């Protein structure tokens, strides 16, 4: 280690003795002037002006424009890059036309090309691809961002794929992730577990829960069905596609015990005019009776043969009418596949139009439902 330090010191001292017009090419430390015609290969490479070709070393620094390939642990360019930076830390203080491949990639102005790394940052517009753990475009982005966290501070056009995707201004394109956030979805889609947007144009969020602050669809619903006289639902998303969370209750009757259920569904509102609409929904409900488990510590009950539950999967083609801006009523037939698991008996409706028995654990019932919905 001491020998390396001594060599580095002597190399720097020898370079210091050269005038600005003199090139110092010592292989360990290379310092050259503007438009040096040969590749720079050494431990430290410094180009005082523009340079074309190759810089290969532990540290590469180009004071002005660089065209070609930089390979090193730390690569830095004072002006523009037209080519490739490949290293642990890559920095360009002006524009990039090409690629940055490393652990940390930074472009201080416009970027046009591809960034591949753990952290990718472009201060101005991005036209190209960012692939990394954290991708950030501080202005407008045109092109894909693929990573764990993707952020565009201004407008975004293209594709974001990650665990968390954020577009802080207008968004046109597609977000695919666990959490998707956009200020305004002008056109395109959000696919995620949780989607959020402040406002929405022609875009559609698709996920487990989608919240649109302005221009979205949110409603509370009371439903009376052939299986449950009391069902409360919460709906959120947009009219073109919304999701619903449900809880339901059926009181005891004769030897039958109280039945509670919870579920999930999705649907769409297709307007005929301002008052009337078509509202198809697909709903899945599950029931587990209170006596089925002796607390969650009763692990023996998790045995498949002792798992007591019922499943209801329903398709409901509702037709609805808007009473005012808030209230609406929907009603329609329902087709429900009722199935049971373990020791539980098949859940049967209080009334039905038709019944198609498959076996002792599965039946299809045709019934009817009516719903009162309050939009807010």
pLDDT value at residue 308: 62
Residue 51 lies in a domain: yes
Residue range 30-41, pLDDT digits in tens = 999 988 888 999
CA separation for the pair 116, 337 (Å, rounded): 49
Could you say which of 54, 74, 109 is where a domain stops?
A: 109
Residue 239 lies in a domain: yes
pLDDT value at residue 125: 84
What total of structural domains would you count in the chain?
Answer: 2
- Outline where DSSP puts E strands in 63-138: 66-77, 81-92, 96-107, 111-122, 126-137
Is 368 in contact with 376 (CB distance < 8 Å)?
Answer: no
Give the DSSP letter of residue 23.
-
CA separation for the pair 114, 123 (Å, rounded): 14
The CATH number for 362's domain is: 2.40.160
pLDDT value at residue 293: 46
Q: How many CB atoms lie within 10 A of CB 138?
A: 18
Q: How many CB atoms lie within 10 A of CB 318?
A: 22
One domain, residues 242 and 360? yes
Task: Between 258 and 15, name the one with better pLDDT.
Answer: 258
One domain, residues 228 and 369? yes
Q: How far is CA 151 from CA 37, 109, 141, 161, in A?
A: 40, 16, 9, 11
Could you say which of 66, 87, 109 is where a domain stops?
A: 109
Q: What is the DSSP string of 31-47?
A: EE-TTB-S-EESSEEEE
Both tokens assigned to 251? 């009181």
Residue 181 lies in a domain: no
Residue 42 lies in a domain: yes
pLDDT value at residue 21: 62
Looking at residues 248-262, what average pLDDT do you find? 80
One domain, residues 227 and 370? yes
Q: Which domain holds residue 315?
A: 217-375
Residue 198 lies in a domain: no
Could you say which of 109, 140, 160 is where a domain stops?
A: 109
Both tokens assigned to 100? 């940055």
One domain, residues 235 and 371? yes
Residue 156 lies in a domain: no
Residue 131 lies in a domain: no
pTM of the model: 0.76
One domain, residues 251 and 367? yes
Residue 270 lies in a domain: yes
* Percent of the chain residues past pLDDT 90, beyond the cut: 67
Query: In this structure, what are the phi and psi dihedrals at residue 305, rounded to the nearest 5 degrees?
Result: -70, -20
Nearest C-alpha neighbor of 247 from the set 270, 263, 228: 263
Q: How many CB atoms lie within 10 A of CB 302?
A: 10
């Amino acid at each position: 280690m001491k020998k390396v330090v001594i060599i580095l010191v002597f190399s720097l001292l020898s370079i210091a003795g050269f005038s600005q017009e003199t090139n110092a090419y010592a292989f360990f430390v290379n310092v050259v002037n503007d438009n040096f015609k040969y590749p720079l290969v050494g431990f430290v490479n410094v180009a005082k002006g523009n340079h074309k070709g190759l810089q290969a070393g532990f540290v590469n620094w180009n004071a002005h424009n660089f065209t070609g390939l930089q390979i090193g642990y730390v690569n830095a360019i004072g002006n523009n890059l037209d080519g490739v930076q490949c290293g642990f830390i890559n920095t360009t203080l002006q524009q990039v036309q090409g690629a940055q491949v490393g652990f940390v990639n930074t472009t201080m102005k416009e970027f046009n090309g591809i960034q591949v790394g753990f952290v990718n940052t472009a201060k101005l517009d991005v036209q190209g691809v960012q692939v990394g753990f954290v991708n950030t475009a501080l202005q407008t982005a045109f092109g894909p961002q693929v990573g764990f966290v993707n952020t565009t501070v201004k407008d975004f056009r293209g594709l974001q794929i990650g665990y968390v995707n954020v577009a802080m201004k207008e968004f046109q394109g597609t977000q695919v992730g666990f959490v998707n956030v956009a200020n305004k979805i002008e056109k395109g889609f959000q696919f995620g577990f949780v989607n959020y947007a402040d406002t929405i144009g022609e875009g559609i969020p698709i996920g487990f829960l989608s919240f649109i602050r302005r221009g979205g669809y949110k409603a509370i619903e009371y439903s009376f069905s052939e299986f449950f006289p009391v069902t409360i639902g919460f709906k959120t998303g947009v009219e073109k596609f919304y999701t619903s969370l449900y809880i339901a209750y059926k009181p005891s009757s004769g030897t039958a015990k109280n039945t509670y259920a919870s579920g999930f569904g999705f649907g769409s509102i297709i307007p005929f005019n301002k008052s009337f609409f078509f509202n198809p929904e697909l709903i899945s409900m599950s029931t587990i009776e209170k006596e089925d488990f002796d607390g969650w510590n009763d692990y023996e009950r998790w045995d498949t043969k002792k798992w007591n539950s019922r499943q209801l999967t329903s398709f409901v083609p509702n037709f609805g009418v808007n009473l005012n801006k808030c209230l609406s009523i929907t009603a329609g037939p329902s087709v429900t596949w009722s199935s049971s698991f373990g020791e539980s008996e098949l859940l049967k409706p209080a009334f039905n139009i038709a019944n198609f028995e498959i076996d002792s654990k599965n039946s299809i019932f045709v019934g009817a439902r009516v719903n009162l919905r309050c939009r807010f």
